[in-house]
Structure 1
Amino acid sequence: MLLNSCRLLVRVVNQVCAGSIRRYVAPPKRFYRQTGVVSSNGRYEIALDQRKLKTLKGAPFFVESEPLAIAIATEWDAQREVIDRSSMHLTALSSTVIDNPNNLQKPDIVNYLVNYLNTDALLFYTGEEKGLKNLQLAEWSPVIEWFNKRYEVELVATDGLEVPSFAPGTAMNISRYLSSYNVAALHGFMFAVDTIKSLILTCACVDRFLLPEKAVLLARLEEEYQLGHWGRVEWAHDVQQLDSQARLSAAILMVHLNSSNVTMKQKSP
């Protein structure tokens, strides 16, 4: 009976592994030698040798910021033998802006970001562990105070699982601020918020009150606190932290490079 059970278990594992192998798709090999930026009618396209980059839906890929185009070209140039699209955040964000797979309009994104405050990570202090709460008060409170002053609102954190209540005019003030950005920049906001689960921390990075590295640590405060007690698997947690930093940094770059009229000038010989 035990032998039959073991054989059945082995068969199931083999089937799962076989299915995983069939579903695995090898990343494409790098097919180009050089990357470049092509300017045309105020738009910037990415050239891979003689080919111009296209979006996942096959649309012409372009951005309206030369520094952003150079950063995207650098992402492609950094690929080695194979193309790892999961590491190319600026490419993915810019492609999403063009393809707009979810048919999002500017008001949709602004509403999503404003409504995120109801679940913002920084507004929920622990009601159980005193040491962790003291750490949250010390680290999060200054950021909340800065946010309130910067955006003329009165956000108050809560203990436990209660949804924070906001004073009248809070949503309007934040909506007005976010609406001043174009759609491409708002996609950067959305990517950042989804990465660190906080509009407050995202705005702090955009306004240069916090560096992305610090914002990620604040977003992971409870996890880091628990790891301090129970230990950490260095390679696993470090990789996760670095991935979040890379995503957040790309999102902040997306906001800044779509929000200013920056051009690149060549030095005279």
Structure 2
Amino acid sequence: MKRFYNKVQIASEVKGFAIQLDGRPVKTPARNLLILPTKALAGAIAAEWEAQGEDIDPATMPLTALAQGALDQVVRERERIVSRIAGFADSDMLYFRAEETQQALADHQAEKWDPLLEWARARFDVSFHLVRGIMHESQPDETIIRLGQAVEAQDDFTIAAMLSLVGLSGSLVATLALVETAYDAQTLWSLANLEELWQEEQWGRDDLAVATREIKRAEFEAAVRFLELARS
């Protein structure tokens, strides 16, 4: 799409802050007004629109896309999306440990992942079943319920960020730790990619895997920034 506007502005609204292009409000694909909860987030999204050249490239506007997701999807389908995020309570990446034949990796996982699980145990008063290998083992009902309640308690914009974060990290516990600022994003990204980074140390770099991980990292960092700006 060709750029069709010259000036980007932020306008105060009753429910937040709107983005205007040449005085006209921006709408989402579902025709909702793009109303942001904080001036900080509105400013960052306005900067995305301002940075567009002759052609508008949606790939360079990750914050706009996440805001659209909050307004078009989470608001209309909140129960389904919360359920999707909460589903990771029963299949969190952190539960699955290397088999006995890879004891060194299992020890590394325990060293790096167990403190994060300990944080969740204390924070949400839950317990976890750890699994050797990839066979699924259901987690305690109380754990699933309480982690699900922690997701349900978040606002729509946080839910939009969490949907991206949990998909990229494979971990609801890590995502909740980020939401609650118990861990920093860089540490959590390293923990989410622990096994892949371990394999690189053992067998060397795979350029394709690294390139794929960097793409995901950019998406992860955008979701983290969106989360921080939406709550600032």
* Cα offset, 1:182, TM superposition: 1.8
Over 3 Å counting, the alpha-carbon distance change for 1:49 and 1:237 in structure 2 is: farther
User: What is the count of residue pairs matched by the alignment?
Assistant: 231
* Cα offset, 1:160, TM superposition: 1.0
RMSD: 2.5
What is residue 214 of structure 1 aligned with on the other side?
187
Looking at structure 2, the residues matched to 181 and 119 of structure 1 have their Cα atoms a distance apart, in angstroms, of 21
Q: In 2, are the aligned partners of 1:124 and 1:161 still within 8 Å (CA)?
A: yes
Note the alpha carbon deviations across 1:52-90, whole angstroms, 9 max, x for none: 322123333222322211121122233345433123222
What is residue 74 of structure 1 aligned with on the other side?
47
After TM superposition, list the pairs within 5 Å mapping 1:21-36 onto structure 2: 28-36=1-9
Note the alpha carbon deviations across 1:203-223, whole angstroms, 9 max, x for none: 121122222222222111111
Looking at structure 1, the residues matched to 151 and 125 of structure 2 have their Cα atoms a distance apart, in angstroms, of 14
Which letter does structure 2 place at the counterpart of 1:199?
A: L
What is residue 246 of structure 1 aligned with on the other side?
218
Looking at structure 1, the residues matched to 60 and 213 of structure 2 have their Cα atoms a distance apart, in angstroms, of 14
Asked if residue 160 in structure 1 is aligned to residue 160 in structure 2, the reply is: no
Looking at structure 1, the residues matched to 103 and 22 of structure 2 have their Cα atoms a distance apart, in angstroms, of 59
Q: Which has the larger radius of gyration?
A: 1
Which letter does structure 1 place at the counterpart of 2:91?
A: T
Q: Work out which of the residue numbers 102, 120, 124 in structure 2 matches 1:147.
A: 120
Note the alpha carbon deviations across 1:240-268, whole angstroms, 9 max, x for none: 3443333223323444444x4x5xxxxxx
After TM superposition, list the pairs within 5 Å mapping 1:188-267 onto structure 2: 188-233=161-206, 236-258=208-230, 260=231, 262=232
Asked if residue 117 in structure 1 is aligned to residue 95 in structure 2, the reply is: no
* Cα offset, 1:50, TM superposition: 3.4
Task: Tell me the secondary structure at the aligned position of residue 106 of structure 2.
Answer: helix
Looking at structure 2, the residues matched to 251 and 87 of structure 1 have their Cα atoms a distance apart, in angstroms, of 13
Which letter does structure 2 place at the counterpart of 1:247?
A: E
Q: In 1, are the aligned partners of 2:89 and 2:143 still within 8 Å (CA)?
A: no
Higher relative contact order (CA 8 A, sep 6+): 2
Looking at structure 1, the residues matched to 108 and 102 of structure 2 have their Cα atoms a distance apart, in angstroms, of 10
Asked if residue 55 in structure 1 is aligned to residue 28 in structure 2, the reply is: yes
Identity of aligned residues (%): 28
After TM superposition, list the pairs within 5 Å mapping 1:121-140 onto structure 2: 121-127=93-99, 128-140=101-113
Q: In 2, are the aligned partners of 1:125 and 1:158 still within 8 Å (CA)?
A: yes
Task: Tell me the secondary structure at the aligned position of residue 30 of structure 2.
Answer: coil
Looking at structure 2, the residues matched to 223 and 49 of structure 1 have their Cα atoms a distance apart, in angstroms, of 47
Q: In 1, are the aligned partners of 2:62 and 2:222 still within 8 Å (CA)?
A: yes
Q: In 2, are the aligned partners of 1:90 and 1:250 still within 8 Å (CA)?
A: yes
Which letter does structure 2 place at the counterpart of 1:60?
A: L
Looking at structure 2, the residues matched to 80 and 228 of structure 1 have their Cα atoms a distance apart, in angstroms, of 41
TM-score, length basis structure 2: 0.86
Which letter does structure 1 place at the counterpart of 2:177?
A: A
TM-score, length basis structure 1: 0.75
Unpaired segments ≥5 residues, structure 1 = 1-27, 263-269
* Cα offset, 1:101, TM superposition: 8.7
